[in-house]
Amino acid sequence: MRRILTIGLLSLALASCSKNPITGRNQLTLFSETEIQGMASQQYKQFLSQNKIVATNVSKDAEMVKRIGQRIATAVTNYYTQQGLSKELEGYQWEYNLIDSKEANAWCMPGGKIVVYTGLLPITQNEAALAVVMGHEIAHALAKHGNERMSQGMVQQLGGVALSVAMVNQPAQTQSLFMNAYGLGSQYGAILPFSRKNELEADKYGLFFSAMAGYNPQEAIPLWERMAKASGGNKPPEFASTHPAETTRIERLRELMPEALKYYRPVK
């Protein structure tokens, strides 16, 4: 029986693999983008209703988050259009919110639902560095990393059933999988870690997207040096808790910098 189940799950995984048009990598995606975006929209609204949003009309930081988000969204849209991939952004309705929280965290759900926590700002310190972080999180969403790790969790915990079936039969567990896959805070349990491939992809394309938006990608290096300092050699900030060591990331970013700078056009 166990062997039959294993073979069945393997067949499901193989049948559900798709090639990401940006990264070129095959990945396990059990759910359609429409399903994931629908769930993301619902959970995003719920999250905002339960947390304190910093209004743009009273905070320059909130204005900055919105400005960065809009510039990166425009850069992404232009890039996808140039590559003939506009269809990949169907359903995207970008939103950008700053949340009053001591957590050093940020995330982006499918459909362009972005949140930055105020606790991250003392580490980013400037607009270009925050753009690198937001670009990284947006790249996770565009590369469908959340779908990928939620799919992996669904196979391991629920046997790879359809999302609609899981929502009816095990709604709490399915919601928990979604929350953990998209990094919506420790209150939902241990956040599912991104793989090394996921992180390298998000670093690469996030750096490129922030550069396309007119932000100096070289700010990524001092940003991660500050991240390393903030961790104090112990537990890293919440934002960095499931990520590679800062020294590893900095080395990789240095390698990517010449290519990133080719996309960089400062906004006048």
The SS3 assignment for 105 reads coil
One-letter amino acid at 122 equals P
User: How many helices and strands (H and E) does the chain possess?
Assistant: 11, 6
Q: Give CA–CA dist 66/63, Å, rounded.
A: 5
* Active-site residue identified among 33, 95, 137, 219: 137
**225-231 contacts at long range (C-beta below 8 A, 24 or more positions apart):** 225/250, 226/123, 226/124, 226/125, 227/123, 230/104, 230/123
| Active-site residue flag, 251 | no
Quote the DSSP letter at residue 194. Answer: P
Q: Which of 149, 123, 164 lies closest to 202, judged by CA?
A: 149
| Residue 132: count of CB within 10 angstroms of its CB | 27
Q: What are phi and psi of 27, to 5 degrees?
A: -145, 155
Active site residues per annotation? 137
